[in-house]
Amino acid sequence: MTYKNLINGKWLDPLSNKYTENRNPADSGDLIGLFPASAKEDVDEAVKSARKAYEKWRLVPAPRRGDVLKLVSDKLTRRKDELAFEMTREMGKVIAETKGDVQEGIDTAYYAASEGRRLFGYNAPSELPNKMNLSFRVPVGVGGFITPWNFPMAIPTWKLFPALVCGNTCVFKPAELTPKTAHTLVEIIDESLHEVLGSAYIAGVINLVHGSGSVVGEAIINHPEIDLISFTGSTNVGKRINEVAGASLKRVSLEMGGKNAQIVMNDANQELALDAVLWGAFGTTGQRCTATSRLILHEKIHDEFLAKLIERAKKLKLGYGNDKGVDVGPCVSEGQRKTVDEYVKIGLKEDKAKLVLGGEIAQEGSLTKGWFYKPTIFSGVTRNMRIAREEIFGPVLSVLKARSLEEAIDILNDTKYGLSSSIFTQDVNSAFTAVRDIKAGITYINGATIGAEAHMPFGGVKETGNGHREGGWTVYDFYTEWKAVYVDYSGKLQRAQIDNY
């Protein structure tokens, strides 16, 4: 099956006339489809249509725009199982997780739908009599959206839904590894626009342009008619986007890397902490920006906890995520698996680090058909090792030891990133000290580093982000501008700061 771009309300072949294959990472013989490898000219067409659509879409009342998202959420709910199956097929994580990914999209859609009836502004008193001060949220304009493959539904919805309900129009470039989920999502949005607006349908509210970062992504971030960029991906790419898009004063939201840690204190409920680290480190095959890639154990429980962890991790079943009983899917691609293997080799060269589990490509039976890598654990890791500092984005966990709460928090903070974090303790004083002192956008007490909820602010500090948040109420600040309005009903020219002082 050959797929198309959606531009100006029509499904079109790319002007480049080039396509790339999308294959199942658990079975490279399974071809899912051919997707456009679009050209810069496709982006130009998409932006032109989004620009035109913006002048109409901004005038559709926000509650009506919310109705479109209400219908989108209903459709996503109805098609949840099918979407999850296809997502597992194209990016590998297990079906329970892809259902969660779709659910995050549904939650985000319902939230955005209801926000159409809020989008609150503030009023403030005027310093002059018979004068009223109001403020309104207005849309920003045309947005460019560049999204990753690890959450092919949730992340695009975090961006597109709030943007749309605020009255912006969209040019969306999904990850090349997950075009199918993006296709279905955009198809659902477009169908909903048709059904809700009827004959008043506006072509170009949402445009989908498949293709590479180097061609389509670059064309988006350089385009003079794009007003804002929302990106999730690596810190290196994010820095480049900020540079390029910043030069033309685009508004830019960046969600980037992480090197998240879970602390386990000596008073922790160990069984709970074990469940959490297995979930956080090996869920999504470690390919989340919130994944647990460091485990910091209090020295008093270190040996006992590590032994239990290895036992439990050994039992994780690898396989195709749509098969029953599978715990861990493949790496998303051959390239990603190579990166993981390279980091394992880097870890093996460290004097004190000890490989205690995995550390190799999985070769058993049908696993040779995909990009599987065994869940891997290094113990004896210290904070300056590369496997303790760099984001690996795979099933590799580095275990470090701490002598006290203060040292554990200090190790946790000793990273250039600051996305998610976790501490297991039964001591309320330790828990609140951690909340106060951990430098990260998200802190879990007695929970894994993964699993943020869609209505809460999502994002991080330091090189993880550039000050914005996705999710919940906070994202609406990114997708709107404030307009201050003064209404003078005094019948004379009142000069603020002058006539009243």
Window 135 to 154, contacts with ligand UN1 (CB under 6 A): 150-151, 154
Name which of 151 and 424 has its Cβ closer to ligand UN1: 151
Is residue 374 involved in binding ligand UN1 (CB under 6 A)? no
- Name which position in 63, 121, 380, 451 contacts ligand UN1 (CB under 6 A): 451
Spot the catalytic one: 45, 86, 176, 255.
255
Q: Give the span between the Cα atoms of 259 and 414, in whole angstroms.
A: 10
User: How many whole angstroms separate alpha carbon 212 and alpha carbon 44?
Assistant: 15
Verify binding: residue 457, ligand UN1, rule CB under 6 A.
Answer: no
For residue 458, list its beta bridge partners.
Answer: 470
Indicate the helix (H) or strand (E) that contains 480: strand 480-488
Quote the Cα angle for 258-260-262, to 5°: 175
Rounded CA gap, 103 and 115, in Å? 18
- Cα gap 395→280, rounded to integer Å: 10
Please, which residues have CB within 8 angstroms of residue 373's CB and are 6 or more apart in sequence? 285, 330, 331, 337, 340, 341, 358, 360, 361, 362, 394, 395
Instruction: Report the residue from 290, 292, 322, 430 that binds ligand UN1 according to the rule CB under 6 A.
Output: 290
> Contact between 444 and ligand UN1 (CB under 6 A)?
no
Of 289, 350, 391, 470, the catalytic one is: 289
For 103-117, give one letter per residue: b (16+ CB within 10 A) or e: bbbbbbbbbbbebbe
Residue 255 is among the residues annotated as catalytic for this protein: yes
Region from 55-63, 242-250, 286-294, 395-403 binding ligand UN1, contact rule CB under 6 A? 286-294
* Contact pattern from residue 249 through residue 278 relative to ligand UN1, giving x for each residue in contact according to CB under 6 A and a dash for the rest: ------------------------------
Q: Which of 137, 288, 298, 302 binds ligand UN1 (CB under 6 A)?
A: 288
Q: Which of 7, 289, 318, 399 binds ligand UN1 (CB under 6 A)?
A: 289
Part in contact with ligand UN1 (CB under 6 A); list of ranges 184-192, 199-207, 284-292, 473-481: 284-292
Q: Please, which residue, 168 or 420, has the CB nearer to ligand UN1? A: 420
Q: Which of 106, 400, 452, 475 binds ligand UN1 (CB under 6 A)?
A: 452
DSSP, collapsed to helix, strand or coil, labels residue 206 as strand
How many residues of this chain interact with ligand UN1, rule: CB under 6 A?
A: 11
- The verdict on whether 166 is a catalytic residue reads no
The nearest distance, CB 2 to ligand UN1, in angstroms, is 29
> How does DSSP classify residue 351?
S
Enclosing H/E stretch for 346: helix 334-349
Between β-strands 292-298 and 10-12, what pairing exists: parallel, antiparallel or unpaired?
A: unpaired
Residues with catalytic annotation?
255, 289
Query: Which residues here bind ligand UN1, judged by CB under 6 A?
Result: 104, 150-151, 154, 232, 288-290, 450-452
